[in-house]
Amino acid sequence: MPLLEVNNLRTYFHTRNGIVRAVDGVSFSVEKGKTIGIVGESGSGKSVSCYSLLGLLPMPPGRIESGEAIFDKNTDLLSCGEKVLRTIRGKRIGMIFQDPMTSLNPYMRIADQIIEPLRLHMGMDKGSALKKAIHALDEVGIPEPDNRITMYPHEFSGGMRQRVMIAMALITNPEILIADEPTTALDVTIQKQILDLIKKRQQELGTAVIFITHDLAVISEICEDVNIMYAGRIIERASANELFANPRHAYTRSLLKSIPAHQTKGEKLYTIPGLPPDTSQTIPGCAFRERNQIGDQSKCLTDSRPEFKEIEPNHWAQNCPGCLS
C-alpha cells in the first residue's frame, strides 16, 4: 500500500462566473521515499491538487466534490477534519512554496519561524529546538548558521531563503515533502543548487517528494515518476525515463517538441496553437482536441471523456485515439 494514495480527486471552485473545474478526477499514488513529479502549465490544476490534500484552499469558493486521499493506510486527508489535518500538516507532510519572500513571515526572525514546528508538533523546549534548528540550517548549507539564525528574511538572498524554507519543511522529518515550483523564481545556478539539495536531503531522510513544476527539464533531473496534467486531469503518467524516451500523448509530445533547447536555430519554433482550455466550461470530449496539431485531430473524442488507461506496462495515458501515437 503506497504512502499516499489519491483517488478520483475533484476540486471545483464555485465562482460567480460559473463552476471552475480546477481538478477533475485526478488519481495518483506516492510510494515511500520516491519522488514523483506533477507537470502542467498554469490552469492545469497541478497546484490545486496538492493544496486540496492539505486543506489549504479557501472553501468557499473551493469545494472538494469527491475523492479520497489515503495517507499512511488509514487517514483520509480529505475527510478527516481540520483537527487531524493539523497534526499532519507541517509535521508529517511538509510543504515548500514558490516565492520564498512571501512564504516566510517578514516580521519574524528566522529562528522564531524555524523552531515553531518543533515546539508545536514535537513539544520541544526553546533551547533544544534552537539547537536542532541551527543544525538544520547547517545541513541545508547556510554558512554560519548560529549567526544567521537571528536574522530576518529580507537579509537573505532568494536562494538562501529557499534553503531556509527547505530546512523548515524537513525539520520535523516528514514522510512527504510537497514542493510547489520551488525553483521557478530562482536563477539557474541557484536552481541547480536547490535541486541538488532536495535530492540529497531526500536520500538522507528517506522522504517522499511530490514535485510540482511547469519545467520539464527540472522534472527530468529530479523525478522518478512523472504525471502530466492538462485541464484538471492527468493526461499521461510514466517513469521519467520512459516518458521522455517514449511520450505517447499528443500534449506531452507537443510540449517536448516546443522546448527551445530542442529546436534547431533558424527554424520556426514548434508551437502548440491556441490557449489552454477554460476550465469553467465543460469539455465534452478530449480536452486537447482543439490544439491537437501533432496527432490526428479528426480522431479525437468529441462526446465522451477519454479514459485514463494503462496503455503499456506502467505507462498510463488518456485513451483518446486522436492523441495517442
| Residue 100 DSSP symbol | H
Can you read off the three cell numbers belonging to residue 61? 469558493
SS (H, E, C) 244-264: HHCCCCHHHHHHHHCCHHHCC
- The dihedral region occupied by 73, where left means phi > 0, alpha psi between -120 and 50, and beta the remainder, is left
- Please state, in angstroms and rounded to a whole number, the distance separating the CA atoms of residues 305 and 86: 36
Nearer to another protein, 143 or 260 (CB): 260
95 versus 194: smaller Cβ distance to another protein: 194
Query: Can you give the C-alpha Rg of the chain in angstroms?
Result: 21
CB of 263 to another protein, least distance (A): 6
**Angle, helices 110-121/126-139, rounded to nearest 10 degrees:** 120
Cβ proximity to another protein, 151 vs 190, nearer residue: 190
Main-chain phi, psi angles of 194, to 5 degrees: -65, -40
CB-nearer residue toward another protein: 16 or 73: 16
Shortest distance (Å) from residue 179 CB to another protein: 15
Q: How far apart are CA 252 and CA 72, in angstroms?
A: 31
Coil, helix or strand for 116? Answer: helix
The distance of closest approach from Cβ of residue 233 to another protein in the complex, given in angstroms and rounded to an integer, is: 17
For residue 13, what is its C-alpha cell? Answer: 471552485
Residues that bind another protein (CB under 8 A): 16, 41-43, 158, 187-192, 195, 214-218, 220-221, 240-241, 244-247, 254-256, 258-263, 265, 268-273, 275-276
CB of 258 to another protein, least distance (A): 5
Q: Using the minimum distance from each CB to another protein, give the nearer residue, 19 or 185.
A: 185
Taking the complex as a whole, how short is the minimal distance between the CB of residue 310 and another protein, in angstroms?
19
Q: Judged by CB, which is closer to another protein: 53, or 243?
A: 243
DSSP 323: T
- Give the separation between CA 182 and CA 180, rounded to whole angstroms: 5
Q: How far is the CB of 181 from another protein (least distance, A)?
A: 13
